[in-house]
Structure 1
Amino acid sequence: MSSERMPRTSVAKKTRRPRDSLSRDVILEAAEVIAVRDGLDGLTFAALGKELHAHATSIYRHFRDKDELVLELIDVLRAKSYETPLVSSGDWREDLRFTARAIHANYLRYPSLAQQMAVRTTRRPTEFRNVEFALDALHRAGLDDDSAVSMLRVFGNFVRAASAIEAAVHALPSSVRATDELAWEMEYRQLPAEEFPNINRLSDRLLGVGDPQVFEDSLELILDVIELRGQEQRTARAAAG
C-alpha cells in the first residue's frame, strides 16, 4: 500500500517594512494610535516596532528615547487641536478664548495623554507659537510686561489643570464615572435640610465635575480679571503721563 506524502504547510512570514521607509511622521502616527489604545504605559519602542512591522531598534534612528518621542507627540497633537495657524482676530479676549478652548478640546480628545500634556514643557514649535500668541494677546489687553508674564502662567495653568481634570473624568471606567455622576443626582438630594441647608436647596442644580459649563464659566472669570487688571494699568500709565 503506497503512502501519500502530506503536503507541506506553508508558514506565513511576517512582512517586514522596507528598509529606510520609516520617518518621524510615520512613527508619530503609530505612536498616537498606540497611546490612544493602550495609554502611555503601552507606548514602548517594542510596541511601535510591532505596529509598524519594523525592528524596534530602528525607532532609535529617529528618536533618542521614549521621552523625546512623547514630547514630540504632545506638540504634534497640540498643533492638530488648532486646525489652522494661530492668527489674531484683533480681539485679545477672543484670541485667549480660542486657545483655551482648543487646548481643552485636545485634552478631551486624548484623555490618556492629558496629564503629560498638562505638566510637560515640550520646547517645540507649537508650544513656542502658543506662548508668543498668548503674550501678544495679554499685552493688547493692557498688561505691562511683568503682569503679562505672570498672567501667562496663571492663564495657562488654569486651562491645563481644568482640562486635565475633565479629561481624567472621561478616562475613568464607565461604571465608576456613572456612579460618581449618580451621586450628584441622587445622594446629594437626600441630604437633610437641617444639616445641609444650602446643598438641600440647590441639589437639583449642582454641576458634575465634568460638566462643560464649569470650564466655560471659569474661563470667563479669568478673562474678566485680565481685562480689569489691564484697565487699571492703562489708567495708571495715563495718570503717570
Structure 2
Amino acid sequence: MPQPPVQPPSAPRGRPPRISRAEIVAAARRIVDEEGVDRLTMRRLARDVGSTPMAIYHHVRDKEELLVLLLDDYAARSLRRPELPADPRERVIVLATAIRDVLAAYPWVVELLSADDLMARSALWYVERIIDALVECGLGVERAVHAYRAIWYHMAGELMIRASSGRRRDRDGRPTYRDRVFADLDPDELPRLASLGGRWASLTAEDTYLDGLRALVDGLVRAG
C-alpha cells in the first residue's frame, strides 16, 4: 500500500530572533562593502539578519540614521590619530593625508559625505585640528573654514574620480574612448598633447595627491 509523502517540517512560528544594533551595523557594513550603498535597504538588511523590517526600525529610525551609524563605525575602526608635527602647515598636510588614505579604501563613504548632510562625529577631531592649524598659519576662523572646505573638495574630487575610473577599467578591460582619442591626436593642432601619445593615461593615473595638497595649502595660507 503506497505511503503518503512525507511533509517537511514547517518552520517554527512566532517572533523573529532578537537582533542587536551591533548586528544590524555589521550586516549593513557587509552589504555596502560587497555590493555598494545603493543596495542597502531596510528590507534587504532584515533578510540578511533573519528578521523583519519592523524589527530593524526598532533599532534605527530610518536609512539616514543607519548610514550615520555606518559612518561612525568606519571612522572608529579606520581613523587613527596620527602624531602631529609642531609646524601648523605640516600639521594640515599630515591630517588631510591621514583622512584621504582611509577614505581611499571606502569610496562609498566619500560619496555619502559629498552630499554634505551626513557626517561621522568621531571624525570631527580631524576637522578641529585642521582648522586650528590653519588659524595658527595666520588665517581667521572664517577663512580657515573656507580653506578646510577647499582641502576637502580637492580630496573628495580626487577620490571619486579615481574610484569611478577604476571601476570603468575593471568592468570593461579595454581602452576607454579617451585613450583612443589621445592615440590619434593631430600634432599640428595639439602638439603638446600629441607628443604624449599613449602616456596620457599613465601620467594622469599617477598618485600626485600630496603634491596637489601641498600646493593648495601653500596657496591658501599665502592668500590669507
Would you say same fold, with TM above 0.5? yes
Match of 2:186 among 185, 189, 192: 192
Match of 1:59 among 37, 56, 59: 56
Provide the C-alpha distance between the structure 2 equivalents of 1:210 and 1:9, rounded to a whole number of angstroms.
64
Task: Provide runs of 4+ in structure 1 moved above 4 Å.
Answer: 14-17, 207-210
Provide the C-alpha distance between the structure 2 equivalents of 1:72 and 1:37, rounded to a whole number of angstroms.
18
The amino acid that maps onto 2:165 is V
Q: Does 1:218 align with 2:212?
A: yes
2:112/2:118 contact within 8 Å kept: no
Q: Indicate how the Cα distance of structure 1 residues 157 and 201 shifts in structure 2: closer, same or farther if over 3 A, else same.
A: same
The amino acid that maps onto 2:131 is L
1:169/1:210 contact within 8 Å kept: no
Q: Indicate how the Cα distance of structure 1 residues 87 and 63 shifts in structure 2: closer, same or farther if over 3 A, else same.
A: farther
1:75/1:122 contact within 8 Å kept: no
Name 2:164's counterpart in structure 1: 168
Name 1:237's counterpart in structure 2: none
1:67-86 alignment runs, 5 A limit: 67-82=64-79, 84-85=80-81
1:113-192 alignment runs, 5 A limit: 113-172=109-168, 174-176=170-172, 178-180=174-176, 183-184=178-179, 187-192=181-186
Identity of aligned residues (%): 24
Q: Indicate how the Cα distance of structure 1 residues 26 and 204 shifts in structure 2: closer, same or farther if over 3 A, else same.
A: same
Name 2:8's counterpart in structure 1: 10
- Structure 2: stretches of 5+ with no match in the other structure: none
Provide the C-alpha distance between the structure 1 equivalents of 2:216 and 2:94, rounded to a whole number of angstroms.
14
Shift of 1:47: 0.8
Q: Indicate how the Cα distance of structure 1 residues 6 and 80 shifts in structure 2: closer, same or farther if over 3 A, else same.
A: same
1:95/1:137 contact within 8 Å kept: yes
Q: Indicate how the Cα distance of structure 1 residues 63 and 72 shifts in structure 2: closer, same or farther if over 3 A, else same.
A: same
Give TM-score scaled by structure 1 length: 0.76
1:92/1:141 contact within 8 Å kept: yes
Shift of 1:12: 7.0
Shift of 1:49: 0.7
Provide the C-alpha distance between the structure 1 equivalents of 2:12 and 2:109, rounded to a whole number of angstroms.
31
1:221-240 alignment runs, 5 A limit: 221-229=215-223
Provide the C-alpha distance between the structure 2 equivalents of 1:66 and 1:43, rounded to a whole number of angstroms.
9
The amino acid that maps onto 1:151 is A
Match of 1:31 among 22, 28, 42: 28
Q: Does 1:47 align with 2:44?
A: yes
Across the aligned residues of Structure 1 and Structure 2, the Cα RMSD in angstroms comes to 3.0
Shift of 1:87: 5.1
Provide the C-alpha distance between the structure 2 equivalents of 1:125 and 1:193, rounded to a whole number of angstroms.
52
- Structure 1: stretches of 5+ with no match in the other structure: 234-241
Shift of 1:48: 0.8
Shift of 1:163: 1.5
Shift of 1:199: 0.8
2:131/2:145 contact within 8 Å kept: yes
Match of 1:201 among 195, 212, 215: 195
Give the SS at the match of 2:118. coil
Give the SS at the match of 1:120. coil
The amino acid that maps onto 1:75 is D
